[in-house]
Amino acid sequence: MKLPAVYIVANKRNGTLYTGVTSDLSHRAGQHRDGYVEGFSRKYGCKILVWYEVHATMTDAIVREKQIKAGNRARKLELIESFNPEWIDLYESLF
């Protein structure tokens, strides 16, 4: 899926969340799963793709990422619960 996207990865249900943006969601989600992404997500074990949103342009995706990051944790949990109430790993569904 090579489209601009905003995504959230988690270490477990209701656990630590990481919000990011990418132009290639399947590749980036794979990097998180394999621990290749240095920094916050690797430190806290955020490997489970629990939410994503595809956008028409990278600019739109970046704007949306900033909106989500500016919001509080409760809003992020609402996004995840409305899209993926079971908190399943959505990585496999990308293929």
76 alpha carbon, distance to own chain's centre? 10
3-state helix, strand, coil in the chain (%, to 5): 45, 20, 35
Region of residue 4 (left: phi > 0; alpha: psi -120 to 50; beta: else): beta
Q: Domain limits at 73? A: 5-94
Q: How many domains, the chain?
A: 1
- Look up the pTM and report it: 0.94
Region of poorest pLDDT, from 17-21, 34-38, 48-52, 86-90: 34-38
Strand partners, 86: none
What CATH number corresponds to the domain at position 13?
A: 3.40.1440.10
Scanning the structure block, which residue is given the tokens 């990308």?
A: 94
- How would residue 1 be classed by pLDDT, with cut points 50, 70 and 90? low
